[in-house]
Structure 1
């Protein structure tokens, strides 16, 4: 088989429903949120020249690196459905560990920032209605209580209204902030030097913290590959995503700039860290609606970023429970059909292993893998990936794994697949179990029109409970797809054994246009919460409540919106939005000349900016803590 050079514009047709416009909306909604409310204060701290200039620089850099990230979605036969999958594929295990650390840090700090913001909004509402119950710590406890209840929701798939509520309310309060800014912008306040009345040291550290706040507003890169994985092909996902990034990020920048400039112009040096708190002359009902919208958005956004953390922790507990159940089932001779002795889907023979032999599986990026990331595509041609013989789920039962294994040459395999009607179809051909750059894992498989075997890394469970599990609405969508492809009904899919559930998932993979937020550290071999396989209620109650209570306590101890927002941006913007996308793109395409030099200069400059922002955020935290009174 002749080597093939894989490019970003190659693709395999799929059944997904995402378009450039759905991706654009996802990008815009991921960008516009609580961070927008802190931008007028950041511009005020930086001044009329440095503020808009820094917003523009961050926009240009974030847009460029986002496009670079979109071009490493499909490399060497693998579509990276998750951010950390791309990092592990291209930069190896060590890079994946660091990416996961930054992703987890980002999600935890986001939940903390949203707790503080939600409490601030609730306190402002209480003050507007003249309630005596209006202390910051009291509102933080109330917000934490709401999240204690919402955190017991099994997963976001079953409560779609949470995301819908968050989107609607975020657009509402951002629009109110923009309209109020435009109305009062004729005050023509502000100065070139920015907010005054501070000591030189505090001014310098405030400027550094403000740069972190700008980074926070542009920190949407960790979800871009997840958004790209929702796109329908053809055309190539990279081509569609480039258009979505150009539109979504540009519109978000225009929104950022408008809110920031009008807010600082209207309020001048008195601009608060949460801009809506400064429009005291606005109608009271408008402010109440805006603050209620902020509180509602923070409640829903908290869940969007907390549920992946819950999923990660619970996935490792699930793995322990499933292995224990498998041991009991093996001792009783009740191992289900289609499951090996270690609980992995597929017969041992179909994977070329002796029966009962344990498979070396990597539950998270923190475990070793047999080989590191792949090399360049642009610099040297990469060999096309051959169709593996360990097929788990051919469509419509076209042929069995044993029949596939009898095919000796790659041409015979490709011919057999073509006869089965896989080439050019819009559904996943099946699933493969293989050892590769992403470790030993199951991945969906389909073929491009050119005959390239295309794998998608979206998690498919291969370590399942022997008794199966009750399917949730998410699985019923798999059943719907299965009914379209093979004629099987939803009831049959719900009653199917674990191996058939995984096959249905492989077939329906990505048929929705919504994306998932991910930590990069979950055990992806077990069914995640989105599939409806959940821990017992008491275990979920303990894990999730402990997380919410801890973050609520921290929010009570450090209720400083601008400091936490600046800390999130300074710690996570450079690695997740600049460094990893640049390194992956460089490894794949091996640029030379001005492109390479520009990549190095941009990374070095943004690293210095973010390091300075870390220093400024930490100093601002210490400075505000020095005068903070608990339970005041």
Structure 2
């Protein structure tokens, strides 16, 4: 992953990579539960009216998601199922287009929401200090959208030996990043235009849209299907690392190396216990910290600089043999420093938001 750097940097990169993958699986658990709950709430609002108290507990949906993931995690070579990425892409385009379409329809039907150049205005109920903290937290959300490492894994997972991977990676990366930018920008700008300063954190689960309810349901179902597979794509590297390390550490241990046949299926005890435990622990953490926006912001803030800026720049400097203290080298260090400061202040803002959310929340009682 970081072959041109020292051992310490290599370890730091690995820790950061594993950290973001673990964090995203927790975030996916929360997001999927919210989308499942949103389907039930959408039907409730359609039946009883938009003013009805259609609150739905999220924990039961997290448990359902966890049970499905436990079964999927036991499928051998799950990460090699190339149709998985195709399905994920179709689902991503589907719910993105639905969200964009609903935003455009709302703009044409009700006009542009109340917006201001500087965001929510400072007033009696919204102080300057609170606005500053919100801005810092928002920087974390921006940073998360620039996190490329999990997109990289999906691209690498579907590459074949021919044509050459290095050429395919350049092409796939350009297309993947360009597509992500276009959809992030369209959803962000059109969503803000539709709702203005009252825009929800997630306009498909935050009920900025109520009708047509079946279309909102379809969008959230697409999110669920997408994240069911995406969870496994991101968890597989963690599963593989621990299992490979264990087999090298204890090669003679039969519980680790031997496959047992059960009802026609080959089951490895290490794989069964480790992967099941991982899914359960991540689900428990999601139940304790089910704060989508604050969690995503903190995750983005902590991973943006090392994985999207520092390591890529250092690898380029090493491979291109850029001379130290040259003009190019200095500008790259300035870019890295600025992005580090952005990550730092974003992490502070997101941490504060997470602490406040934790203080107001009772564990295991999350509801949408």
Q: Does 1:209 align with 2:137?
A: yes
Does the aligned pair in 1 maintain the 2:30–2:62 contact within 8 Å? yes
Does the aligned pair in 1 maintain the 2:150–2:234 contact within 8 Å? no
Does the aligned pair in 2 maintain the 1:222–1:576 contact within 8 Å? no
Once residues 317 and 119 of structure 2 are traced to their aligned partners in structure 1, the CA distance between those partners, rounded to angstroms, is 38
Q: 1:274 aligns with which of 202, 215, 227?
A: 202
Once residues 165 and 237 of structure 1 are traced to their aligned partners in structure 2, the CA distance between those partners, rounded to angstroms, is 22
Q: 2:16 aligns with which of 102, 113, 118?
A: 102
Structure 2 residue aligned with 1:188: 112
Structure 2 residue aligned with 1:546: 277
Structure 2 residue aligned with 1:310: 239
Change (3 A) 1:144 1:231: closer
TM-score normalised by length of structure 1: 0.50
Does the aligned pair in 1 maintain the 2:143–2:304 contact within 8 Å? yes
Change (3 A) 1:535 1:212: farther
Deviation, 1:556, is 1.0
Q: For structure 1, which runs of at least 5 residues remain unmatched after alignment? A: 1-83, 326-464, 471-533
Q: Summarize the alignment of residues 97-496 of structure 1 with structure 2, pairs less than 5 Å apart.
A: 97-130=11-44, 134-157=56-79, 159-186=81-108, 187-189=111-113, 190-196=115-121, 197-221=125-149, 224=152, 227=155, 230=159, 241-276=169-204, 277-323=206-252
What does the per-residue CA deviation read over 1:16-64, in whole Å, with 9 as the maximum and x for residues that have no partner?
xxxxxxxxxxxxxxxxxxxxxxxxxxxxxxxxxxxxxxxxxxxxxxxxx
Deviation, 1:240, is 5.5
Change (3 A) 1:237 1:167: closer
Once residues 124 and 279 of structure 1 are traced to their aligned partners in structure 2, the CA distance between those partners, rounded to angstroms, is 12
Moved over 6 A (4+): 231-234
Structure 2 residue aligned with 1:356: none
What does the per-residue CA deviation read over 1:121-172, in whole Å, with 9 as the maximum and x for residues that have no partner?
0111111223989212222222222222222222314654443332221221
Structure 2 residue aligned with 1:516: none
Partner of 2:211: helix, strand, or coil?
Answer: coil
Once residues 535 and 213 of structure 1 are traced to their aligned partners in structure 2, the CA distance between those partners, rounded to angstroms, is 42
Does the aligned pair in 1 maintain the 2:79–2:232 contact within 8 Å? no
Once residues 33 and 168 of structure 2 are traced to their aligned partners in structure 1, the CA distance between those partners, rounded to angstroms, is 39
Deviation, 1:242, is 4.2
More helix by percentage: 2
Does the aligned pair in 2 maintain the 1:104–1:309 contact within 8 Å? yes
Structure 1 residue aligned with 2:49: none
What does the per-residue CA deviation read over 1:517-547, in whole Å, with 9 as the maximum and x for residues that have no partner?
xxxxxxxxxxxxxxxxx99433322111111
Once residues 172 and 85 of structure 2 are traced to their aligned partners in structure 1, the CA distance between those partners, rounded to angstroms, is 20
Once residues 330 and 80 of structure 2 are traced to their aligned partners in structure 1, the CA distance between those partners, rounded to angstroms, is 48
Change (3 A) 1:200 1:162: same
Structure 1 residue aligned with 2:48: none
Structure 2 residue aligned with 1:434: none
Change (3 A) 1:266 1:226: closer
Deviation, 1:266, is 0.2
Partner of 2:335: helix, strand, or coil?
Answer: helix
Deviation, 1:317, is 2.2
Structure 1 residue aligned with 2:50: none
Q: For structure 2, which runs of at least 5 residues remain unmatched after alignment? A: 46-53
